[in-house]
Amino acid sequence: MEATPEARTEVSLERTLEELLAVERFEPPAGFTRRRHIEADQAAADADPEGFWADAARDLLTWETPFTQVLDDSNPPFYTWFADGTLNLSVNCLDRHVAAGRGERVAFHWRGEEGERRDVTYARLLADTQAFANGLRQLGVQAGDVVGIFLPMIPEVAVAMLACARIGAVHNVVFGGFAPSAVAERMAVSEAKVLVTVDGARRKGKRAEVKAAVDAELGELPALAHIVVVRGPGEHPGVVPMTAGRDVWYDELLAAAEPDCPAVALPAEHPLFILYSSGSTAKPKGILHTTAGYLLGATYTHRMVFDIDADTDVYWCSADVGWITGHSYIVYGPLSNGATSVMYEGAPDYPDRDIWWRIIEEYRVTVFYTAPTAIRTCIKWGPEFPGRHDLSSLRVLGTVGEPINPKAWLWYHLVIGGGRCPIVDTWWQTETGSVLISPLAGVTATKPGSATRPLPGISPALFAEDGKPLTEGTGILVITRPWPSMLRTLYKDDERFVETYFSRFGPSTYVVGDAARLDADGYFWIIGRIDDVINVSGHRLSTAEVESAIVAHEAVAEAAVVAEPDEQTGQAIVAFVTLAGERIGDAEVEAQLRDHVARRIGKLARPRRIIWADDLPKTRSGKIMRRLLRDVAAGRELGDVTTLRDPAVMAVIADRVRGAR
C-alpha cells in the first residue's frame, strides 16, 4: 500500500531527528548583530561586574535622579542596587517611547480566542495607564499599598501593572488559572487594598463567572477596600454581583478619571511587585522585586538573549502574565525595549490545534518564546498543524520553565524553526527576576538540552554537598555574587528569605534549589529541583501545598504527594492517600478529591494518580519517607525499608500500585 504524503513526511522527519540526535553542538548562524556587543559586555563584566551593571543601568534605563551608588553589600543577603537613584518604571516602559515619536507603534497585537483583534499602541497604553493610575488613587491607593490583579490575558492586565508602577503601588498578580480560593489567600496574606479582576473569562468557548466566584471565596478581608471589575471580551450573559461602595467597573473608573497622571519619581529600591511562588512548605512564598534592578535585568536580557530589534521584530511569549515569565517577558522587558509583541488570550488548541502557527503567520512573528511542555504537546499532535502555515518569519526561538529533552529541542528546531533559527534555552526563576543562564541568539553555540553559559555579570557555580566548588560534574547550583534583578526578600518574612536561600552556604551564596551538571566546555545542564517542589508543565507546585489541600477534604486522614516523570508535562503528581475510618477509596472519591484540589489550588495541581494507602511509610520519628513513595510510583525496586516504623506498609502500597497500573 502507498504511504500518504503526510505519513511519508513523518517518516523522514523521524529519520532526520534520529540523525540529528548525534549532533552535539550547533554553531550559531550568521547574520546576528549582537556578537561584538556581547563580547565587549562579557569582557567588561569579567573585569568589573558592578561597573558593567552600572554602565548598563545608565545606558538602558531613563533616570529621574542619576545614581551614585551601585551595589551595597554591607548587609548580606539584603543587597541593594543603585539605591540613591530615582526613576519611574512606567516612564521607562511608555513615556520615553512616546516622547521619542514612537507613540503609534503597536505595543500589543492582542488576539482574542474567538479571533478578535485589537492593536494597542504605546500612546494608548500610556493614556490608559495614566487614567487608571488616577482611578486607583481615587480609590485610596497610595505608594507602598498592595493591589491584587486577577485577570485573563487581556491588555488591561498590562495597564493595571503599569498603573501601579506609576504611583508606586505594589502589584500582586495571581495566575488566571488559579482557583478563586488561592486569590483570596493571596489577597489576605499580602493585605491587598484593591483587587482588579474581571466579570467573566472564557476558555475554549466556555465561560467562567470569575467575579461571582471570587466574591464567594473572599470572606472578611479587612484591608480590601475595593474591587475593580474589568468587562472581559465576549458575551456577558451572567449577572455580575457588585457590592455598593466596594465594587466599581473599570471602564467607569477610567472614564471619570483625570487623563494626566504625572509619574512619581521613586527610589530605585522601591518595591515593584510581589509574586507568590511555591516553596517547600504549604505556605506560598511572596517573592518581592524592586524597581530599578528588576527592570534592568528584564530589559537587558530581553534585548540580548533574543537579539531584539524593536524597530523590526514582532515578538511573542506564549506564557501567562500571572507567572514571572509573563511579568518579565510579556510586560516589562518588551515594553522597556519599545518592542511590538503579540498577546494571545486563548488556548493552543482552540478553535484548532494550529492556532499558534496561524497567529505567527498572520502577524509575521519573528521571535517566539514558549515552554518545553507546549512543544511536547505539539509533537504529540503532529507536524501537520504547523505544516499548514508559513512560519518563515521566525528567526529566534526560546524555551523556559523546565529542562528540554534533546528530541523536543530538535523537533522545535526543525519543524518550527525550519532548521535556521537559534534556540535559546533560558534558565531562571521567579526569584532571579530575569534570565541568568542562556545562550544568546546568534552568538552562543548551542547543545540541545543545555542552557549553556551564564549571561555577562552573572556568576553561577556548582557546589558539592560540602560546599566545595566543582569545575565539572554534577552538583548543587548556586550564584556566588548578587545581581540587580534578584529578589530582595520574601514579603514580610525576612527570616524565611534568609533560611530558604542563604542558610546553606552563607549569606553571599544564593542557593537556587536546582541540581545541575557542568561539562568540560563550561556549559550548564539543569537537572531539576532538589527540594520538595514539583514542576508540572513548567509550573511550580509544592508537595506540601498539594498535600494540605488533599488533607482538607473531610474524607481524608492523611496524604503524601510525590512527582513521577511524565512525557508530556515533565513531572506529574502522584498522591498516596489514607482515608478516614479505614475506608478504601473508589472512583467516586478519587473524582471528588481531584475536583477538590482543583477548587483549592487550581486544575494544574490535580493529582494524576491517587493510590489508596492504609498507612504511609514513616520513620520512627514520624517523618514520611517520600523517597520510597517515589520509587514505588516509578515501579522501581524498593530500597532499604528497615528504618520504617512499620516495614509492612510498603508491601501493601506496592500491591495497590501494581493493581492500579
Buried b (16+ CB within 10 A) or exposed e, 288-314: bbbbbbbbbbbbbbbbbbbbbebeebb
Find out whether 378 and 404 touch, Cβ atoms under 8 Å: no
Q: Is 425 an interacting residue with respect to ligand PRX (CB under 6 A)?
A: yes
460 binds ligand PRX (CB under 6 A): no
462, 475 Cβ separation under 8 angstroms: yes
Beta carbon of residue 533, minimum distance to ligand PRX (angstroms, whole number) = 7
Binder among 17, 106, 131, 324 for ligand PRX (CB under 6 A) = 324
Q: Quickly count: other Cβ atoms within 10 Å of residue 7's Cβ.
A: 10
Nearer to ligand PRX, 526 or 649 (CB): 526
CB of 175 to ligand PRX, least distance (A): 10
Please tell me the distance from the alpha carbon of residue 443 to that of residue 440, in angstroms, as a whole number.
5
Report, in Å, the least distance between residue 159 CB and ligand PRX. 23
- With respect to ligand PRX, which residue has the nearer C-beta, 403 or 460? 403
Instruction: Name the segment binding ligand PRX (CB under 6 A); options: 43-51, 356-364, 409-417, 525-533.
Output: 525-533
- DSSP structural state of residue 40: H
Q: Which DSSP symbol is given to 316?
A: E
Q: Which residue number, 132 or 427, has a Cβ lying nearer to ligand PRX?
A: 427
The site for ligand PRX, by CB under 6 A, has a size of: 22
Label residue 101 left, alpha or beta by phi (over 0 means left) and psi (-120 to 50 means alpha). Answer: left
Nearest residue (CB) to ligand PRX, 197 versus 432: 432
3-class secondary structure, 398: strand
Q: Which of 400, 416, 560, 632 binds ligand PRX (CB under 6 A)?
A: 400
Compare residues 146 and 476 and give the one whose CB is closer to ligand PRX: 476
Residue 453 Cβ vs ligand PRX, minimum distance, rounded to whole Å:
13
Q: What is the DSSP letter of 619?
A: B
Sole window of 206-214, 346-354, 527-535, 600-608 interacting with ligand PRX (rule: CB under 6 A): 527-535
Rounded to a whole number of angstroms, the minimum distance from the CB of residue 493 to ligand PRX is 17
HSE of 426, CA atoms in CB hemisphere, 13 A = 31
Q: Applying CB under 6 A, which part among 250-258, 526-534, 609-617, 625-633 lies near ligand PRX? A: 526-534
Q: Is the peptide bond before 155 cis (omega within 30 degrees of 0)?
A: no
Footprint of ligand PRX on 263-292 (CB under 6 A): 277
Of 263 and 423, nearer to ligand PRX (C-beta) is 423
Asked if 427 is part of the footprint of ligand PRX (rule: CB under 6 A), the reply reads: yes
* Residue among 20 and 437 whose Cβ is closer to ligand PRX: 437
529 binds ligand PRX (CB under 6 A): yes
By CB under 6 A, tell whether 594 contacts ligand PRX: no
Cβ 323 to ligand PRX shortest distance, Å: 6
Site for ligand PRX in 119-158 (CB under 6 A): none
402 scored as a contact of ligand PRX (CB under 6 A): yes
Contacts of 18 (CB under 8 A, 6+ apart): none
Tell me: does residue 451 bind ligand PRX (CB under 6 A).
yes
Candidate segments 241-249, 352-360, 400-408, 486-494, binder of ligand PRX by CB under 6 A: 400-408
What is the closest distance, in whole angstroms, from the C-beta atom of residue 54 to ligand PRX in the complex? 26
Least distance from ligand PRX to the Cβ atom of residue 33, Å: 24
Contacts with ligand PRX in 184-223 (CB under 6 A)? none
348 forms part of the interface with ligand PRX (CB under 6 A) = no
Among 514, 532, 545, 547, binds ligand PRX (CB under 6 A): 514
d(CA 275, CA 535): 17
CB of 451 vs ligand PRX, minimal distance in Å: 5
The three-point CA angle 462-323-329 to 5° equals 80
Of 67-75, 78-86, 482-490, 528-536, the segment contacting ligand PRX by CB under 6 A is 528-536
Which listed residue (63, 79, 428, 612) binds ligand PRX by CB under 6 A? Answer: 428
Q: Quote the CA–CA distance of 436 and 301 in Å, as a whole number.
A: 8
Task: Give first-to-last CA distance, the chain, whole Å.
Answer: 37
**Is there a contact between 592 and 626 (Cβ–Cβ < 8 Å)?**
no
Task: Please select the residue that binds ligand PRX; options are 408, 526, 549, 650, rule is CB under 6 A.
Answer: 526
Task: Report the residue from 401, 602, 607, 617 that binds ligand PRX according to the rule CB under 6 A.
Answer: 401
Stretch of 32-40, 116-124, 361-369, 510-518 contacting ligand PRX, by CB under 6 A: 510-518
- What single string gives the DSSP state of each residue in 324-389? HHHIIIIIIHHHHTT-EEEEE-S-TTSS-TTHHHHHHHHHT--EEEE-HHHHHHHHHH-THHHHTS
Q: How far apart are CA 48 and CA 3, in angstroms?
A: 61
Strands 271-277 and 170-173: parallel
Closest CA to 562 of 604, 524, 591, 534: 534
- Can you tell me which of 325, 340, 444, 542 binds ligand PRX, judged by CB under 6 A? 325
| Closest approach of ligand PRX to the CB of residue 324, in Å | 5
Q: Which stretch binds ligand PRX (CB under 6 A): 122-130, 233-241, 423-431, 624-632?
A: 423-431
403 binds ligand PRX (CB under 6 A): yes
Shortest Å distance, C-beta 278 to ligand PRX: 8
Give me Rg for the CA atoms of the chain.
25
Q: Where would I find the beta strands (DSSP E) of 15-134?
A: 71-72, 80-81, 86-87, 106-111, 117-121
Q: Which residue type does 227 have?
A: I
Residue-wise DSSP of 198-238: ES-EEETTEEE-HHHHHHHHH---TT--EEEEE--SS---S
Query: 616 and 624 in contact (C-beta within 8 Å)?
Result: yes
Grid coordinates representing 112? 482574542
* Contacts with ligand PRX, residue ranges (CB under 6 A): 277, 324-325, 400-403, 425-430, 451, 512-514, 526, 528-529, 535, 540
